[in-house]
Structure 1
Amino acid sequence: MPDAGCWGPEPGADTLLLTAWNALAEVMDPEIPVLSVVDLGVVRSVDRQTDGRIAVTVTPTYSGCPATGVIVLDVETALARAGLDAVVRVVIAPPWTTDWISETGRAKLAEVGIVPPPASGKRSLTAPEESIACPLCGSTDTAQISRFGSTACKALHRCNACLEPFDVFKCH
């Protein structure tokens, strides 16, 4: 079972719930395909309903996320392939936060050159611009060149030392 950060199976979870979590750990985020929806923290809970069906609750990274429909379909498909009768609910409150990205997810982002958000604390919208290290050469001589990167949840930066562009995951 992968590191599920804030979310994951309860200790002593039954086999059906563990099967569901394992199936979900194989569902990749369509916009950041190195991360599972579990590592991204989009899967909020997996429960057994009184009728025996599995209920999965997901929260998109933001309420207007264009990938939400694909994520729900991929989750439903993975659970069906695992032989589970499941219902998927999308909830937007409380809103998703980058604090829900697992440590495994943060490491995977860094491995592909996306600067992960800080593990604790938020980047303040009103704080002075912080120094972000280039994931390629390590230089902190970097600059944001666009508030929006390859997806709405990332900003585009450039390293002034090696001149390479890179994404920085925004905090929310």
Structure 2
Amino acid sequence: MQSPSSDPSGHLLPARGEKEERAYRAAAAVVDPEIPAVTIADLGILRGVEMDGDVAVARVTPTYTGCPAVLAIELAVETALREAGFEPRVERVISPAWTTDWITAVGREKLRAYGIAPPVKASNSIRALFGETEVACPRCGSLETARISEFGSTACKALYRCQSCHEPFDYFKCI
């Protein structure tokens, strides 16, 4: 049995065959078109890659069913797999629904470094559902922040302003 390895973002991978691991690495390196600082593996959108004969089958779960980036992500995964030498097939998996709980620790840190406050509560938290979340400024770390708008640069983010450093920033909402 092979020992576990890690993908391009440092996520631990289960033992798998060489072709399957190579296909997973290719798909996992695809960046989110709306947030290029994170990969689809960082966000937990990439559910897995398996070999079906000579075809690399990547399973992708959109952040929400109406996400305008889902087609771009699927096409980028197809391209990455093809460029890695595989015949690609991308399957959209909508159940179970994606949740911000699937964002990895690496992904959360990349979001913060990019200037987006990562979700701070579990998606099943009643406080998260009713907007009572304390959001730390990704630039200075202050909790003295205020929501300006329920929607930021994309529907999955809200716009906040830090009361300490006065900088606006996006907050990746709990879903």
TM-score by length of 2: 0.88
* Pick aligned residue for 2:24 from 18, 21, 24: 21
Letter of the structure 2 residue corresponding to residue 3 of structure 1: G
Letter of the structure 2 residue corresponding to residue 19 of structure 1: R
Whole-Å Cα distance in 2 between the matches of residues 145 and 40 of structure 1? 25
1:48 match: 51
2:10 match: 3
Q: 1:119 offset after TM fit, Å?
A: 6.8
* Pick aligned residue for 1:109 from 108, 111, 120: 111
Over 3 Å counting, the alpha-carbon distance change for 1:118 and 1:158 in structure 2 is same
2:65 match: 63
1:26-63 per-position Cα deviation (integer Å, ceiling 9, x unaligned): 210000111111111111121122x3322111011000
1:160 and 2:130 equivalent? no
Letter of the structure 2 residue corresponding to residue 101 of structure 1: I
Q: 1:120 offset after TM fit, Å?
A: 4.5
* Pick aligned residue for 1:138 from 136, 141, 148: 141
Q: Determine which structure has greater relative contact order: mean sequence separation of CA pairs < 8 Å that are 6+ residues apart, divided by chain length.
A: 1
Contact between 2:121 and 2:174, CA under 8 Å: does it hold in 1?
no
Q: 1:147 offset after TM fit, Å?
A: 0.6
Whole-Å Cα distance in 1 between the matches of residues 163 and 121 of structure 2? 25
Contact between 1:117 and 1:169, CA under 8 Å: does it hold in 2?
yes
Whole-Å Cα distance in 1 between the matches of residues 129 and 77 of structure 2? 33
Contact between 1:3 and 1:39, CA under 8 Å: does it hold in 2?
no
Contact between 1:3 and 1:103, CA under 8 Å: does it hold in 2?
no
Gaps of 5+ in 1: none
RMSD of aligned alpha carbons:
1.7
1:118-141 per-position Cα deviation (integer Å, ceiling 9, x unaligned): 3746452236x2322212222221
1:74 match: 76
* Pick aligned residue for 1:85 from 73, 87, 90: 87
Contact between 1:54 and 1:87, CA under 8 Å: does it hold in 2?
yes
* Pick aligned residue for 1:36 from 15, 22, 39: 39
TM-score by length of 1: 0.89
Letter of the structure 1 residue corresponding to residue 45 of structure 2: V
Question: Runs of 4 or more off by more than 3 Å in structure 1?
Answer: 119-123
Letter of the structure 1 residue corresponding to residue 24 of structure 2: W
**Structure (1/2) with the larger strand percentage:** 2
Over 3 Å counting, the alpha-carbon distance change for 1:137 and 1:63 in structure 2 is same
Aligned-residue identity in percent: 49
Q: 1:25 offset after TM fit, Å?
A: 2.5
